[in-house]
Amino acid sequence: MTVHTEKPRAVKAPPTSDGTVELLRGGGFMVGTGLLSGILLLTVLGGVTHTGATTNSGWLALIVALMCLPFGGLLLTLGLAKWLRNRRLQRPK
């Protein structure tokens, strides 16, 4: 006689968040990091000339700023759009 034992299926709970908070938080941190590295580049790390940064750490700060500002801005914009949409959907009609 064969006994079949089946594994209980996991029931997925409905998501409590659609990722809006994470997008806003991540975008804010990335934009903040880009702004901080840009400010440090201009004030502490040697500045920028027409050929680029003047020190090795300045080049690193320039790279970080040029990576974080556009991508963080996109994340922040997407998070803001989702937040506005969620706010509009929650309004009573």
**Quick check: 15 pLDDT over 80?**
no
pLDDT in tens, 29-72: 999 999 999 999 999 999 999 998 899 999 999 999 999 999 99
Task: Tell me the pLDDT tens digit for each residue of 71-83.
Answer: 999 999 999 999 9
Cα torsion through 61, 66, 69, 75, rounded to 10: -120
- What's the pTM? 0.76
- As a 3-state breakdown, the chain gives helix, strand, coil percent values, each rounded to 5, of 65, 5, 30
- Domain boundaries of the chain, sorted by first residue: 20-90
